[in-house]
Amino acid sequence: MSTDRTVPALDVAGVSHSFGRRRALYDCSFTVPVGGVTALIGRNGAGKSTLLRAASGLLRPDGGEVRVLGEPVGDRSLPRIGYVAQQAPLYPMLTVAQTLALGRRLNPRWDAGYAQHLTDDAALPSTARVGTLAPGHRSRLALVMALAKRPELLLLDEPLASLDPVARTEVIGTLMADVAERGTTVLLSSHVVADIDGVCDHVVVLAEGRACLVGEVEPVLAGHLVAVGAGFEISTLDGAEVIEVRTAGRDAIALVRSAGPVPAGDLAWHRPTLEELLLGYLRAAGPELKREVSAA
């Protein structure tokens, strides 16, 4: 794959979109670097699916621009994109073998050998009609269809939602192998933090249609602290950028944006786990969380 690694795999610039009176995206901006797995995290209704549809060319946003590998989304970029929608839309009357044959006819970059390898790994019966497959098997087939076209950017909308724990592990292994062997860029959406912990290199957190946290995992974690102590002590964090405060028994727990050393004092401090960090931002998502925090 000859992708220019200096150009973002995905560049979302000021994208806005509404469905009637409901605003799905609002001045949303972030970039996804080439290679690796970027997790797109947000509550239900945060705009994840709308954003992925815009990036895949299935939706034209009301404002802003989406560029894929340096080019506007369009005829030139679409062959380089693989997309798996949340509902895994496939033709129910076709068999698995017929579905793969259709993929081969429609995609000039189709890798039939790889498609068969992935199908065998997923134990998908070639003669079974798609409509008779269990939801997890339909999701696996949709992933095969996306990967076999050998995309440079793979967009996955809640790909693990319908899978059992074993299938989740297998799918994650398949994705990581594709990233390692081919340098594929994966943008994976989820509202379940556990799905992406230990998998992603970068994170994008959406809140109310905007990116409120963007960055590489390790620098983002290093830029935050968690303070635990009595509520009145937490309230004295003057000058600190407090993302969220919650209570746990008699203690208050604050997620604080800070790249400095652990402060001295009566509060107990620790570096957050990825789950603590993301859940803090998701719980804080609301009218008060309008800023964009970036840690490249």
214 falls within a domain:
no
Position 293 scores a pLDDT of 45
Judgement on whether residues 120 and 198 belong to the same structural domain of the protein: yes
180 and 233 in a single domain? The answer is: no
Structure tokens at 235: 């309230």
Q: Please give the pLDDT value at position 180.
A: 86
| 294 part of a folded domain | no
Identify whether residues 159 and 262 lie together within a single domain.
no
Q: Looking at residue 129, which CATH number applies to its domain? A: 3.40.50.300
Q: Is residue 102 part of a domain?
A: yes
Q: Which of 174, 208, 242 is the last residue of a domain?
A: 208
Q: Which of 144, 151, 295 is nearest to 213 (CA)?
A: 295
pLDDT at 62: 96
pLDDT of residue 287: 40
Give me the pLDDT at residue 131, please.
95
27 and 163 belong to one structural domain: yes
Pair 97, 199 in one domain: yes
In a domain, 164, yes or no: yes
Residue 230's domain comprises 219-285
Q: What is the pLDDT of residues 48-103, one digit of tens each?
A: 999 999 999 999 999 999 999 999 998 889 999 999 998 878 999 999 999 999 99
Whether 46 is covered by a domain: the verdict is yes
Does residue 201 sit in the same domain as residue 252?
no
pLDDT tens-digit profile, the chain (296 residues): 545 678 999 999 999 999 999 999 999 999 999 999 999 999 888 999 999 999 999 999 999 999 999 999 988 899 999 999 988 789 999 999 999 999 999 999 999 999 999 999 999 999 999 999 998 899 999 999 999 999 999 999 988 887 888 888 888 888 888 888 889 999 999 887 887 888 899 999 999 899 999 999 999 999 999 989 887 666 666 667 889 888 888 888 989 988 666 666 678 888 999 999 999 998 887 544 444 444 44
Residue 239 in domain: yes
Residue 192, domain member (yes or no): yes
Tokens of 105: 């006819």
Q: What's the length of the chain?
A: 296
pLDDT at res. 233: 65
Distance CA 104, CA 111 (A): 8
Rounded to two decimals, the pTM is 0.88
Quick one: 31 and 174 in the same domain? yes
E strands along the chain, which residues? 10-19, 22-32, 36-42, 63-68, 71-72, 81-84, 153-157, 185-190, 202-207, 210-216, 224-229, 241-248, 251-257, 268-270, 293-295
* d(C-alpha 200, C-alpha 198), whole Å: 6
Q: How many domains does the chain have?
A: 2
Q: Among 144, 175, 208, which residue terminates a domain?
A: 208
Residue 122 has a pLDDT of 92
Could you tell me if 196 and 236 lie in one domain? no
Give the integer Cα–Cα distance in Å for 259 and 7.
Answer: 28
